[in-house]
Chain A
Amino acid sequence: MIVKHTITSLIALLLLTVITGVLYPLLVTGIAQVAFPAKANGSLLTVRGKTVGSVLIGQPFSDPKYFWSRLSATAPYPFNAGSSTGSNLGPTNPALLDEVQGRLTDLRKADSLNALPVPVDLVTSSSSGLDPDISPSAAAYQVGRVARARGIGEDAVRALVDANTRERTFGLLGEPRVNVLALNLALDESAAWKGGK
């Protein structure tokens, strides 16, 4: 009985490994590359022939003229999409308070006139370390700073925020959100902004 079932085990394992571990991923890859090539290859964004990121993967920003993303705990640099991780700080860990206060200080230093309460997603680390989004209120908090740093009107900035805001799917699923990389690229490309470059 043992010998018979051992032989069956080995052959069945080999066959099922080929079917589910080789043929199945190849089939899905074939369908994906034909039907959704851009998405299957990582939804990469290109500006003037240069790959500048993926629309699904966040990037860090520290210049006041850009909207800032959430905090990222990846190493050795933030938003390292080759090594995703969260901070894993527990709710009572003093290091969590340090992290939050550090971000608050940076935000207020860059925008000392802003007395609005800071939305919580802007002072906390995301789960993946790669969160591409901030909440609409976190974007609203930063509109004044970005407009001043670029010397353009707040309304122009706000219009771009709105254009890069996604509501809940079907008005129901998930949360409203603003894609930070897409928004910042749109700011750099906008007609109102002639600085930089």
Chain B
Amino acid sequence: MTPNGFLQIGLYLAVLVALVKPLGAFMARVYKREKTFLDPVFGPLERLIYRLARIDAAREMDWKENAVAMLLFNAAGFLLVYLMQRVQHLLPLNPEGMGPVSADSSFNTAVSFVTNTNWQGYGGETTMSYLTQMAALTAQNFISAATGMALLALIIRGFARHSATTLGNFWVDMTRSTLYILLPLSIVFAVVLVSQGVPQNFSPYAHAQFVDPPRDTSGAFVKEQVIATGPVASQIAIKQLGTNGGGFFNANSAHPFENPTPLTDFLEELAILLIAAALCYTYGQMVGDTRQGWALLVAMTLILVAMLGVCYWAEGAPNVLLNGHGIDQSAGNMEGKEVRFGVANSALWATVTTSASNGSVNAMHDSFSPLGGMIPLIAMHLGEVVFGGVGSGLYGMLVFVIVAVFVAGLLVGRTPEYLGHKVESFEMKMASLLILIMPITVLLLTALAVVTSDGRGAIANPGAHGFSEILYVFTSQGNNNGSAFAGVSVNTPFYNIMGAVAMLIGRYWLAIPTLALAGALARKKLVPAGEGTLPTHTPLFVFWLIAVVLIVGALNFLPALALGPVVEYFMMIH
């Protein structure tokens, strides 16, 4: 840990917080359908989409109809992504002649990109044609992010409204999220990335003459270096902004073409949390009390900073097993890290990408120290509510708010209420369902993999670390994160199918009950705040909310963590 490392982290947090209000206020205007400075550019396009797709933009829908619209739209997206991979060898823009992707891998990838997980069982530069990368994967980067943001807009209206039956129109919120928020930010960001060296072309892979030719595994000299390129920048920009995380290349954001300089690293890290953080402010504006949004943002940030501190400390320390060999380990644990980022930026990225449900990596989590690698696991075990995915993170956190309010109400013997809504048994049933389903999915699938040879066959590292690898697989997919302890060989039918199940449950089993919860809240009559009302914007409530999030997350996964990273840590130091 160095003063410069703390300074970089401090600067990151300061810039992030400074951008929350301007972007959050802008997004509130988008969801309230007020005029924005982008109307002259995207207004005609928006109206064209409504006309051609037969969307009645003036009509609001209840939670069920919105849920149906969302599911049908995502199902269509799934089919398109699946089919494009299966027939990519017949389609244009395939200069490297990539063949069709296997059925189970295409299935997993289609589910993965539609659910905003972007788990990747494949290596991008050895599997996908340029057209698949663009029209299937880049497009779903936008569409799945816009789906999450639209769901959030609907759910926020449920929290804001009283005695109402409708939540808004999914089609309108989804279209406006894409056109007014994701697309303009991505265009600007992609051009900035190119200016730093991220490629953007449709050429075949480049071939270079090695200066000092190496030998391959058979001992023969290799004269040429193959250098994969393609339309990279346009995918990387939305991959970070939309908390998608699916890389153009196998090495993801560690690849010098995805993330060539410290400046791109800083901006990409910023992009990962930018929209999720700013949505807290949007929430505050839409419910008519910005303090409510700030309170959630403060709670998220405090949890993030605590996890970041542990991760940075653990990665900055030397690997004790390498002591005594005459190695200068002052740079920290550099296995699986890039020199231009160093330990501080690798720990920052790992914590940020798993707090948000982004899942891109600029260092290999599998090679992190035992406790450093435990932090990404914990960040995901909290249910992706510390920032989380764009939209989905905040609506997950709102569920925790309901639980926190309810438990606090029980403690003092008052009817719990939040923003003028009485919290009653239906809301608590939905909230309990939401909180239980993720750990059940993750732990059951982990257990299944550990006891089957198909599951154990994927392990790359021996001992407790191997268990952590499997736990990470299902934690990541069950929370729609997409990062990996990447040593595991998961491109097998067993993992592709089980993982897809985890991703589907993680996305829709959370989204639909939360919509139902929002629908129920919207119908309730306004309960004016009284003397017994627990204020939900105070430091007291912020700490209470943090406690609820941490206790639920810790209780669910402590035994599993004890078997993996904790055991490995104690074995290492002895």
CA distance in complex: A112, B52 (Å) = 74
Interface bracket on A:
35 or more
Inter-subunit contact A39/B195 (CB<8 Å): yes
Inter-subunit contact B195/A91 (CB<8 Å): no
Inter-subunit contact A20/B200 (CB<8 Å): no
Q: Closest residue to A125 on the B side, CB-wise?
A: B335
Knowing A16-B139, A121-B334, say if A6 contacts B254 (CB, 8 Å). no
Inter-subunit contact A11/B52 (CB<8 Å): yes
Report if B411 contacts A (CB, 8 A).
Answer: no
CA distance in complex: A32, B199 (Å) = 9
Q: Closest residue to B123 on the A side, CB-wise?
A: A83
Report if B465 contacts A (CB, 8 A).
Answer: yes
Inter-subunit contact A16/B142 (CB<8 Å): yes
Report if B138 contacts A (CB, 8 A).
Answer: yes
Knowing A78-B214, A172-B7, say if A43 contacts B197 (CB, 8 Å). yes
Which of A2, A25, A174 is close to B261, meaning CB atoms less than 8 Å apart? A174
Q: What distance in Å separates the Cβ of B478 from its nearest Cβ neighbour in chain A?
A: 21
A-B contact count (CB 8 A): 400
Q: Quick one: which of B302-342 are within 8 Å of A by CB?
A: 318-319, 321-322, 325-342
Q: Quick one: which of B149-193 are within 8 Å of A by CB?
A: 171, 174-175, 178-179, 182-183, 186-187, 190-191
Report if A17 contacts B (CB, 8 A).
Answer: yes
Report if B76 contacts A (CB, 8 A).
Answer: yes
Interface membership of chain B positions 230-265, coded 1 if the CB is closer than 8 angstroms to chain A and 0 otherwise: 010111011000000000011100111100111101
Contacts of B217 in A (CB 8 A): 75-77
Report if A135 contacts B (CB, 8 A).
Answer: yes
Report if A8 contacts B (CB, 8 A).
Answer: yes
Q: What distance in Å separates the Cβ of B124 from its nearest Cβ neighbour in chain A?
A: 9
Report if B203 contacts A (CB, 8 A).
Answer: yes
Report if B498 contacts A (CB, 8 A).
Answer: no
CA distance in complex: A97, B571 (Å) = 15
Q: What distance in Å separates the Cβ of B376 from its nearest Cβ neighbour in chain A?
A: 14
CA distance in complex: A49, B11 (Å) = 43
CA distance in complex: A26, B80 (Å) = 20
Contacts of B138 in A (CB 8 A): 20-21, 24-25
CA distance in complex: A60, B73 (Å) = 48
Inter-subunit contact B234/A29 (CB<8 Å): yes
Interface membership of chain A positions 84-108, coded 1 if the CB is closer than 8 angstroms to chain B and 0 otherwise: 1111111111101100110010000
Q: Closest residue to B45 on the A side, CB-wise?
A: A19
Knowing A40-B200, A100-B322, A120-B334, say if A81 contacts B211 (CB, 8 Å). no
CA distance in complex: A183, B568 (Å) = 40
Interface bracket on B:
35 or more
CA distance in complex: A29, B225 (Å) = 25
CA distance in complex: A63, B221 (Å) = 14
Report if B206 contacts A (CB, 8 A).
Answer: yes
Inter-subunit contact A41/B201 (CB<8 Å): yes
Report if A160 contacts B (CB, 8 A).
Answer: no
Q: Closest residue to A178 on the B side, CB-wise?
A: B339
Knowing A52-B208, A169-B263, A184-B211, say if A39 contacts B126 (CB, 8 Å). no
Report if B401 contacts A (CB, 8 A).
Answer: no
Inter-subunit contact B462/A93 (CB<8 Å): yes
Contacts of B531 in A (CB 8 A): none
Most chain B C-beta atoms within 10 Å of own C-beta, residue among A9, A43, A135: A9
Inter-subunit contact B322/A86 (CB<8 Å): no
Q: Quick one: which of A118-143 are within 8 Å of B by CB?
A: 118-121, 123-135, 137
Which of B55, B225, B485 is close to A57, meaning CB atoms less than 8 Å apart? B225
Q: What distance in Å separates the Cβ of A78 from its nearest Cβ neighbour in chain B?
A: 5
Q: What distance in Å separates the Cβ of B7 from its nearest Cβ neighbour in chain A?
A: 6
Contacts of A54 in B (CB 8 A): 206, 208, 227
Contacts of A152 in B (CB 8 A): none
Interface membership of chain A positions 50-84, coded 1 if the CB is closer than 8 angstroms to chain B and 0 otherwise: 11111011111111001000100001111111111
CA distance in complex: A87, B336 (Å) = 7
Contacts of A33 in B (CB 8 A): 200-201
Q: What distance in Å separates the Cβ of A111 from its nearest Cβ neighbour in chain B?
A: 13
Which of B7, B211, B237, B328 is close to A118, meaning CB atoms less than 8 Å apart? B328
Contacts of B560 in A (CB 8 A): none
CA distance in complex: A33, B262 (Å) = 23
Contacts of B54 in A (CB 8 A): 4, 7-8, 11
Knowing A20-B138, A44-B206, A82-B226, say if A126 contacts B465 (CB, 8 Å). no
CA distance in complex: A36, B300 (Å) = 38
Minimum-distance CB pairs A-B, first 5: A174-B262, A21-B139, A88-B487, A82-B226, A127-B254
- What are 13 A-B pairs at a CB distance below 8 A? A8-B54, A17-B80, A51-B209, A52-B209, A57-B227, A82-B125, A87-B364, A90-B568, A120-B329, A124-B335, A131-B339, A169-B263, A181-B211
Q: Footprint of A on B, CB under 8 Å?
A: 4, 7-8, 11, 45, 48-49, 52-55, 65, 68-69, 72-73, 75-77, 80, 123, 125-126, 134-136, 138-139, 141-143, 171, 174-175, 178-179, 182-183, 186-187, 190-191, 194-203, 205-212, 214-218, 222, 225-229, 231, 233-235, 237-238, 249-251, 254-257, 260-263, 265-266, 318-319, 321-322, 325-342, 345-346, 361-364, 366-370, 460-465, 485-487, 568, 571-572
6 new A-B contacts, CB < 8 A, other than A100-B322, A169-B263, are A19-B45, A28-B237, A88-B460, A90-B366, A93-B465, A173-B8
